Amino acid sequence: MFSAIARVFRTPDLRRKIAFTLAIIALYRFGAHVPAPFVDFPNVQECLRQSSGTEGLLSLVNLFSGGALLQLSIFALGVMPYITATIIVQLLRVVIPHFETLYKEGQAGQAKLTQYTRYLTIALALLQSTTLVTVARSGQLFGTTGIPECDQLLTNDVWWAQLLMIITMTAGTGLIMWFAELVTERGIGNGMSLLIFTSIAAQFPVSMWAIWQSKGFEVFLLVLAVGIIVVALVVFVEQSQRRIPVQYAKRMVGRRTYGGTNTYIPIKVNMAGVVPVIFASSLLYIPALIAQFNQPQAGQEIPGWVTWINQYLVKGDHPLYMILYFLLIVGFTYFYVAITFNPVEVADNMKKYGGFIPGIRAGRPTAEYLDYVLTRITLPGSIYLGLIALLPLIALATVGANQNFPFGGASILIIVGVGLETVKQIDAQLQQRHYEGLLR
């Protein structure tokens, strides 16, 4: 293992790529701590020290920004606008035929879709930065904490100061996109995935230290042991796949023979990744957001429906919230898999190139068989996603950790997925140069 790591740093090209990637990551983390204009930095730090953070969708955005959201930094929005834009463009392929045509055009069409994603990212960044500045100005960024400093997070709240903050945060999102593309082009791995990985990993020490301070060393060791088991199980499931064998018939083109090979279609247990967790979190945050904007003024009675939402659908430690969260994740998993994997298209492509599944006729029977396999393998995948997503909520109810609990939810899925993919890329590049990779 250590000799393989030494080979990585002895390879000049690989060493330069890793150094470049680490430099971009360092710049990204530095920007996450640079406050935006007209932000009262001492007050923000005092609120962070005394409050337990935020909840709901803002908690997810804060996690993906590496804690930059609550610090109101120039990178406050993090990668969340880009993630949202990517998901929207992917879903629009089903609705807009032009997007589906571009997707099938190959590299030129993919470049056009990437350009649309960038434009949508900037538009979403404008919207989200406006919302964030408005919430910070109203003193509701940290919720109803009762801390006087949390009501004065901005040093100047005139319109031009707010406009400058919005422009700065939007420009920060554009800079993050540029960083990600530089890493993809000149570094190791997928740039945007690595920046998400960095944001989440940066929260691990803070979360674990908070558990140690609040619950003691014994609970800290218990959480660490559970975390190691969860990571091992997530790695096992993320690598699990159903391999459907495919054979290609031999065909003569001129004097050459093509085909006659055996391969397989890999269908992963978790084909949806972390997207259903993001969808479910966003949808469950909507009632809490509506209730927050319908809080009565001082002296007025709180409406019954607002009280019900605050009691059952805000904190996340209530059984009703957990059940709804789990069911939404299962439903969104089936929905997203149905959009991203088209059995009819796969069957048509196989038939076009002379491929068939042994024992299954080409064409419609192949599509029905693929749909049959996909439907059944998605069930354990969706249950697995739901259980992993519930871990932070269970920790919130039992240990008292916040919803950024490191060993569960979207955080552990992204950490494991990106880590495995990056190690595989380093291994592939090592094998090209030394005929021996990082993994054995």
Give the percent of the chain with pLDDT over 70: 82
What's the average model confidence in pLDDT over 248-264? Answer: 70
Average pLDDT score, the chain = 80
Q: What is the pLDDT of residues 370-383, one digit of tens each?
A: 999 999 999 999 99
The residue among 311, 316, 312, 294 whose CA lies nearest residue 303 is 294
pLDDT of 382 reads 92
Q: What is the DSSP string of 231-271?
A: HHHHHHHHH-EEEEEEEE--EEETTEEE---EEEEEEES--
pLDDT of 254 reads 65
pLDDT of 164 reads 92
Distance CA 335, CA 341 (A): 10
pLDDT of 24 reads 93
- 356's enclosing H/E stretch is strand 355-356
DSSP H helices, 32-158, are: 41-50, 57-64, 80-95, 97-104, 107-138
Residues 6 or more apart whose CB falls under 8 angstroms from that of 28 comprise: 75, 176, 179, 195, 198
Is the predicted pLDDT of residue 57 greater than 60, yes or no? no
pLDDT of 358 reads 86
Q: What is the pLDDT of residues 23-53, one digit of tens each?
A: 999 999 898 888 888 888 787 777 777 665 5
What's the average model confidence in pLDDT over 126-145? Answer: 78
277 falls in which pLDDT band (50, 70, 90)? confident
How far is the CA of 58 from the CAs of 76, 389, 405, in angstroms?
11, 16, 15
Is the predicted pLDDT of residue 435 greater than 70, yes or no? no
pLDDT of 272 reads 85
What's the average model confidence in pLDDT over 177-183? Answer: 91
Asked if residue 127 lies in contact with residue 137, where contact means CB atoms within 8 angstroms, the answer is: no
The token duo for 423 is: 């190690």
Is the predicted pLDDT of residue 55 greater than 60, yes or no? no
Question: In 10 A of CB 281, how many CB atoms?
Answer: 22
Asked if residue 198 lies in contact with residue 72, where contact means CB atoms within 8 angstroms, the answer is: no
The residue among 277, 116, 111 whose CA lies nearest residue 200 is 277
Distance CA 409, CA 391 (A): 6
168 falls in which pLDDT band (50, 70, 90)? very high
Is the predicted pLDDT of residue 400 greater than 70, yes or no? no
The pTM assigned to this predicted structure is 0.80
pLDDT of 53 reads 53
293 falls in which pLDDT band (50, 70, 90)? low
Q: Which residue has the higher pLDDT, 317 or 355?
A: 355
What's the average model confidence in pLDDT over 139-151? Answer: 66
Ranked by mean pLDDT, the top range of 144-158, 260-274, 297-311, 374-388 is 374-388
Residues 6 or more apart whose CB falls under 8 angstroms from that of 270 comprise: 237, 238, 381, 384, 385
Distance CA 195, CA 25 (A): 7
Is the predicted pLDDT of residue 433 greater than 90, yes or no? no
Q: In the block, which residue shows the tokens 């293992």?
A: 1
pLDDT of 1 reads 58
122 falls in which pLDDT band (50, 70, 90)? very high
What's the average model confidence in pLDDT over 293-300? Answer: 64
What's the average model confidence in pLDDT over 278-298? Answer: 73
Distance CA 354, CA 239 (A): 29
Q: What is the pLDDT of residues 304-342, one digit of tens each?
A: 777 777 777 776 667 888 888 899 999 999 988 988 888
88 falls in which pLDDT band (50, 70, 90)? confident
Q: Provide the 3-class DSSP secondary structure of residue 387.
A: helix
What's the average model confidence in pLDDT over 121-130? Answer: 90
Is the predicted pLDDT of residue 403 greater than 60, yes or no? no
DSSP 73: B
